[in-house]
């Protein structure tokens, strides 16, 4: 959590994370370039750069797309999600080198402005076989640029979490554009069953993990019954672990009910920072702590502890015997709600 | 810390539990192995590049007789009664013609004049080009050659299959300098004034190169762009001019085959 904006708020985890990303990139580029220079000596440095960074960007994009569902399916992988934006920026830089060198190599020093040439040098827009695949890569690069440029809490706060999230969901559009860019471009000429299979496997991996993650999401606890006052029966109090929560869908909203210090509190499940699932978090030092980036909220009022200003909606709870009920009409964000004491 | 209690908070040192660490370490190993496999497979899967050469950092001085049409060439004597016609191209994706502007003020015509040029050699498979990047690198060194240069020898009508390439990239500047990946660059080069060349394969898969002109034997650029970098079948009149072949074509007679080009 931070009050003011710095370019990067470094900590030991971020440093380690970035070193691992750099390690991945160096290993890949070193191996790809080294082998190409040994077995295919006639290569040119431009081709080596374009191909090396293009494939590297694809590999990093797959890792990025896999991290999200993987950490939803197995919370042990959440620390990888924590600094994903650095991976995203690294991937954009690799894609930028690929795209920049390609535009320089194929479109500059000619009779037309290079960007205009990207769109007009091949006009077979209605042919699948000859489609101008570079245009697809260009649009993907624009999306990746937008994402990398706004990949900072300053933009997250100023664009609003919802807009920011929508903007960053464009990564899936970029992914489809890049797949088409490769299949309609490089794979039409460099036809190797092995490389095509690897990209195909990557797509299957991303798709399967996304589907499994979505299925898990759909299995969120459903409301079983409603009492005469319109309160929803959610669960037995023992079903919630201490300092943890259970998530329920109440009036189409995800709500997290936390148990802590023999008390119960309910807040809206979506973190104001990046939309993380607060109900998968934990009570630490008396605060609900988001599992994604550690943003904190007080359980009794859904407010981040001062001086922070984030707020989420709160809900009334009642106990009938050992059964927990929730009033589906939530309060405004940050409204104080007396925690429900669990009688012993 | 109990297994289920492990909870990572980035700003709390030591909050990364041992089981979480183990799981992440395992994932990092798996990703490392995947990256190594992908790098190796993609590196080995690349098709071999041609051994064309582009002497970017060194310039060669050549003297020969200049012929401007349909495409600028220098006829260089390589042995007694043996000549090589060297295609002249400009810097970048452009014709060499812009560098003749200064000389044209002094000479009514450059056709048939002996020129000394300096430029970067590009060569592959018996063909040579020179990239000239300044008008200072071209000098008139002699009067028009009194000998009549040989005229083109008509071979006859032929139907050829191959790909229209830009010779500057294909013969050495870029690798690959042909095909789907390179297509937009070839379009830019030919649009900028580099001569279009048909790289055709015969039944034995032997490569032959033909400078493409219109039916009047004149240079052709813009009209041929839609067919550049694609497998095509071309019917036209083939002519021989010493070490180069020409083909006169009607653009409307060029047919896209939609097949994989054998020149890949």
Number of Cβ within a 10 Å radius of residue B242: 15
A47–B47: do the CB atoms touch at under 8 Å?
no
Please state the rounded mean pLDDT for residues A197-206: 97
Crossing angle (nearest 10°) for helices A161-168 and A133-149: 150
Banded pLDDT at A6 (limits 50, 70, 90)? low
Domain at B61, CATH number: 2.40.50.140
CA distances B138 to A75, A291, B116, B132, Å, are 71, 70, 6, 8
Tell me the DSSP string of A170-235. THHHHHHHHHHHHHHTHHHHS--HHHHHHHHHHHHHHHHHHHHHHHHHHTSBPP-EE-TTSPEEEE
- For residue A77, the chain B residues in CB contact (below 8 A) are 23-24, 27
Closest partner CB to B51 (pick from A42, A55, A74): A42
The dihedrals phi and psi of A4, each to the nearest 5 degrees, come to -110, 175
Range of the domain at B214: 153-256
- List beta partners, residue B159: B235
Please check whether residue B158 is in contact with residue B151, taking contact to mean a CB–CB distance below 8 angstroms: no
Q: For residue B264, tell me if it sits in a domain.
A: no
Cα distance from A57 to chain B (closest Cα, Å)?
Answer: 12
Closest listed residue to residue A25, CA positions, set A13, A14, A37, A33: A33
pLDDT for B149 equals 67
| Residues B180 and B237 grouped into a single domain | yes
Put simply, the chain A residues between 95 and 154 with a CB less than 8 A from any chain B CB are 105-112, 117-118, 121-123, 129-130, 132-134
Reported ipTM: the value is: 0.91
Tell me how long chain A is.
344
Omega into B70 within 30° of 0, i.e. cis? yes
Mutate to test the interface with B, among A33, A122, A280, A296 (most CBs of B within 10 A): A122
As a whole number of angstroms, the distance between CA B173 and CA A165 comes to 45
- For residue A34, the chain B residues in CB contact (below 8 A) are 43
As a whole number of angstroms, the distance between CA A277 and CA A282 comes to 11
Q: What ranges do the domains of chain A cover? A: 12-218, 225-341
- The highest-confidence range among A70-74, A256-260, A319-323, by mean pLDDT, is A256-260
| B252 in A contact zone (CB under 8 Å) | no
pLDDT for B264 equals 41
- For residue B192, the chain A residues in CB contact (below 8 A) are 110-111
- For residue A59, the chain B residues in CB contact (below 8 A) are 34-35, 38
Domain at B218, CATH number: 2.40.50
CB neighbour burial string for A228-251, b if at least 16 within 10 angstroms, e if fewer? eeebbbbbebeebeebbbbbbebe
Shortest CA distance from A62: residue in chain B: B31
Domain count along chain B: 2
Q: For residue B176, tell me if it sits in a domain.
A: yes
Q: For residue B16, tell me if it sits in a domain.
A: no
What count of CB pairs under 8 Å joins A to B? 174
| Residues B165 and B201 grouped into a single domain | yes
Tens-digit pLDDT profile for residues A244-293: 999 998 888 899 999 999 999 999 999 988 888 999 999 999 999 999 88
Tens-digit pLDDT profile for residues A153-183: 777 777 777 788 888 899 999 999 999 999 9
Q: For residue B246, tell me if it sits in a domain.
A: yes
CATH topology of domain A225-341: Rieske Iron-sulfur Protein (2.102.10)
Q: Which of B98, B122, B142 is the last residue of a domain?
A: B142
């Amino acid at each position: 959590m931070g009050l003011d904006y710095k370019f990067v708020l470094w900590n030991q985890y971020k440093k380690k994370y970035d070193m691992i990303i750099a390690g991945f990139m160096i290993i890949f580029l070193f191996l790809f370039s080294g082998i190409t220079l040994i077995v295919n000596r006639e290569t040119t440095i431009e081709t080596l750069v374009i191909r090396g960074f293009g494939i590297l960007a694809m590999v990093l994009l797959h890792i990025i797309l896999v991290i999200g569902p993987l950490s939803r399916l197995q919370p042990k992988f959440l620390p990888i999600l924590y600094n994903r934006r650095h991976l995203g920026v690294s991937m954009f830089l690799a894609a930028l080198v690929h795209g920049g060198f390609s535009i320089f190599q194929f479109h500059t020093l000619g009779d037309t402005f290079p960007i205009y040439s990207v769109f007009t040098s091949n006009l077979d827009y209605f042919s699948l076989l000859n489609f101008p695949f570079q245009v697809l890569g260009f649009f993907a690069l624009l999306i990746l640029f937008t994402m990398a440029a706004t990949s900072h809490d300053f933009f997250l706060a100023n664009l609003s979490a919802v807009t920011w999230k929508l903007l960053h969901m464009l990564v899936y559009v970029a992914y489809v554009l890049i797949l088409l860019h490769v299949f309609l471009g490089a794979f039409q000429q460099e036809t190797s069953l092995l490389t095509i299979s690897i990209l195909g496997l990557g797509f299957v991996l991303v798709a399967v993990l996304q589907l499994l993650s979505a299925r898990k999401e759909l299995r969120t606890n459903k409301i079983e019954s409603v009492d005469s006052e319109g309160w929803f029966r959610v669960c037995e109090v023992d079903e919630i672990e201490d300092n943890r929560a259970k998530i329920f869908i109440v009036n189409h909203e995800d709500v997290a009910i936390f148990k802590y210090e023999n008390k119960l509190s309910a807040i809206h499940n979506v973190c104001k920072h990046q939309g993380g699932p607060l109900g998968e978090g934990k009570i630490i030092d008396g605060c609900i702590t988001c599992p994604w980036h550690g943003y904190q909220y007080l359980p009794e009022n859904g407010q981040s502890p001062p001086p922070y200003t984030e707020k989420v909606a709160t809900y009334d709870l009642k106990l009938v015997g050992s059964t927990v009920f929730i009033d589906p009409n939530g309060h405004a964000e940050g409204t104080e709600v007396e925690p429900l004491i669990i009688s012993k | 810390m109990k297994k289920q209690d492990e909870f990572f908070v980035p700003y709390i040192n030591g909050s990364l539990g041992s089981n979480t660490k183990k799981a992440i370490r395992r994932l990092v190993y798996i990703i490392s192995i995947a990256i190594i496999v992908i790098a190796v497979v993609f590196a080995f899967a690349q098709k071999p590049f041609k051994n064309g050469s582009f002497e970017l950092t060194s310039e060669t001085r050549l003297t020969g007789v200049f012929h401007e049409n349909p495409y600028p060439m220098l006829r260089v004597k390589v042995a007694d009664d043996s000549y090589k016609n060297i295609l002249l191209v400009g810097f970048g994706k452009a014709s060499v013609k812009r560098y003749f502007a200064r000389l044209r003020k002094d000479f009514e015509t450059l056709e048939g004049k002996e020129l000394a040029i300096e430029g970067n050699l590009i060569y592959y498979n018996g063909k040579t080009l020179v990239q000239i990047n300044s008008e200072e690198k071209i000098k008139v060194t002699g009067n028009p050659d009194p000998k009549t240069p040989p005229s083109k020898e008509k071979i006859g009508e032929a139907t050829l299959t191959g790909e229209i390439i830009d010779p500057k990239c294909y013969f050495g500047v870029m690798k690959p300098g042909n095909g789907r990946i390179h297509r937009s660059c070839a379009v830019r080069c030919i649009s900028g004034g580099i001569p279009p060349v048909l790289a055709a394969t015969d039944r034995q898969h032997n490569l032959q190169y033909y400078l493409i002109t219109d039916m009047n034997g004149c240079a052709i650029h813009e009209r041929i762009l839609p067919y550049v970098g694609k497998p095509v079948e071309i019917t036209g009149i083939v002519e021989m001019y010493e070490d180069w072949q020409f083909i006169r074509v009607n653009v409307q007679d060029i047919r896209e085959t939609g097949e994989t080009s054998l020149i890949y």
